[in-house]
Structure 1
Amino acid sequence: MPANSTDGLRELEIVLVKAGRTKIRYPAALLTDDGTRVSVRAPWAGEGVRDFGFVRFEPGDVFTEHYWRDRWYAVKEVRAQDGVLKGWYCDITRPAVRSGAELLVEDLDLDLWVSGDGKTVLRLDEDEFAASGLTERDPGAAAAARSALDDLEALARADGLTALL
């Protein structure tokens, strides 16, 4: 696919799958697809407010999401309705697969949060990952997931995630 190709499409359906079931699906504006990375923008797709304690996702928040076909993560820049950067929410995933107007992403439970000022970096859901059974079912995928989390955390602490984008 040529650099910055959108195939004439202006919207993709993001399909987030977890443990073999669709967790959420939502429309997103396609920004770019260079053949390796797909970038989209979408409003907060959850229902109501989700308060994690370290950040609140709420109606009006805007997510600029970056998915890779060759990396085991997705990076989502989160901004409040007024444009203030809240931070980056990173999902550890299998590499994304695009089929026409649909982008399929398999969530592997591990997550990373980086605050907008870069001072807070939190590893999330390691207990869910351990309980998922992925290590027993697919040791290679489990190792890739842990490695992706370690790599993202190291990058966030050293240079910040904007180096990826």
Structure 2
Amino acid sequence: MRQRAMIAMGLMGEPALIIADEPTTALDVTVQEQVLRMLKRAQREQDAALLLISHDLSVISAMCDRVLVMYAGRIVEVIDVAGLTAGPAHPYTRGLLATLPDMHTDRTRPLATIPGRPPHPANLPPGCSFAARCPFATQVCLEVDPPLAPSPAGGSVACHHPQQGPVTVTQEQQEMHV
């Protein structure tokens, strides 16, 4: 209830920019839907921009037009929502999508995960911060931080070995060593 009250208070001033940082965390799906509907209505009625910060890619896909994926404090992919579902280029984005269960997920297998742990923000490694967890990493990844550049999937990606095509859970699970 406090979470909803705080969101409502933030919207009372008719902001031009709505920044919602994990607005649906720990909410049941019914309340989550109400909060998202309220944010969408406020965005439309106030002609406001909405910056939604979330780990929930299903919420992102439903609410946003464009997605910026961050890893270790850095943007690693910029992609529109259609590109996100068609197949992102960055291995981290693909790994995140592979972890989402759906109605066709094989219940006899463990859910997909991305192995390893993110680096400590105060002690980032040289090169790509995702390299230690990436199944496509090569020596250049360990030495050179990739710049954000045009992606084969559209948008931009910071990766020496961008991927193409739709994310298939079995493919991504094998690549992520799940």
- TM-score normalised by length of structure 2: 0.27
Larger Rg: 2
Q: Which has the higher strand share?
A: 1
- TM-score normalised by length of structure 1: 0.28
Q: Which has the higher helix share?
A: 2
Q: Which structure is higher in RCO with an 8 Å CA cutoff and minimum separation 6?
A: 2
